[in-house]
Amino acid sequence: MRSSRPLLGTYVTVSVSHPDAALCEQAIAAAYAAIGRVEALMSAFRPDSDLDRINRLAHREPVAVDSWTLEVIRAAQELHAASGGLFDPGVAPALARWAMLPASDLDYEQSSIANLRLDGDRVHALVPTRIDLGGIAKGYAVDRAADALLDAGVEAGLVNAGGDLRVVGAAQEPIFVRDPGDSGQLHFAGLLEQGAFATSATYYSRRQHEGREVSAIVDPLSAQPLLTRRSYSVIAPLCLHADALTKVLALAGHPDLPCFSRYDAQPLIVPSP
């Protein structure tokens, strides 16, 4: 059974297999509910989401957030440290300057995920910090949806959020990647079982802004946009890690990074023709 819905700024497809159709329907509904919850907590476009309150208030007072938000921030901080700073959701101010995120009147000069301190369920920022979890929360949402499928008892399942996907249960899924030179063209990448696959590239987000080219992938060290024409995929057990590590791979530009083995991840770079 397969179903598709617009969520997370893309289309999410959930497919499950089990002889019991009612179980399949319940599993799919639970998966969408999990994704909806992640979106409500961590979307950059929802006023008063956990993310929005952290960005507006956490430098003034500790902000209480949901346990799921805490989990993503903790993972993001760990990835930030493991990647030597290449993964940093604190690049949101650059995205806002390029009109990819809503503008803000706060001044975020030293924005970095490393500024956040966690205390119980509360988040405090040492200096004004604007984070965008777009580079990790989609993967996390896929993981929570995949967990929901397993909890519901499906035999096999797939959650695919615009190319960030996870395969659970007894299925072996053929995985395709878009040709970075022609995103309508697909290439067979391999077969995946009980794991996640995520891709980052700039083919959809590249655009002109005030006379220069920008993209949604930002180098946190230079605050400059990534403009290569290649695409960067990562295979890992969890989609949260796969999603975040695609940015690390893209910014490093080569696959020899110690943090990949730490997350049991495999990089895949597709060159443009």
Partner 1 sequence: MKWIPASALVMLPVAALVAPALAHARINVGVEEAQQRLFPGQKLTQAPVLLTDAQRDRMRAASSVREPFKGERIWRTAQGEWFIVDEVIGKHEMVKYALAIGADGAIKGIEIMEYVESYGYEVGEAAWRQQFVGKTAEAPLKLNQDIKNISGATLSCKHLTDGVKRVMVMHELALKSQK
Summarize as ranges the residues that interact with partner 1 (CB under 8 A). 2, 4-6, 9-11, 13, 46-47, 99-100, 158, 160, 162, 165, 172, 174, 176-177, 179, 182-196, 204-205, 207, 216, 235-237, 264, 266, 268, 270-271
Shortest separation between residue 175's beta carbon and partner 1, angstroms: 9
Minimum distance from residue 119 beta carbon to partner 1 (Å): 30
Q: What SS3 class is residue 217?
A: coil
The nearest distance, CB 120 to partner 1, in angstroms, is 29
Among 43, 89, 90, CA closest to 66: 43
- Produce one character per residue of 6-22: b if its CB has 16 or more CB atoms within 10 Å, e if not: ebbeeebebbbbbeeee
Of residues 49 and 83, the one with the C-beta less far from partner 1:
49
Both tokens of 46, joined, read 């929802």
Minimum Å distance from CB 190 to partner 1?
Answer: 4
Task: Please check whether residue 116 is in contact with residue 73, taking contact to mean a CB–CB distance below 8 angstroms.
Answer: yes
The four Cα atoms 168, 174, 175, 181 give a dihedral, to 10 degrees, of -170
Q: In terms of CB distance, is 19 or 184 closer to partner 1?
A: 184
Residue 31, helix vs strand vs coil:
helix
Q: Which of 123, 236 has the CB closer to partner 1?
A: 236
Closer Cβ to partner 1, 110 or 185, answer by number: 185
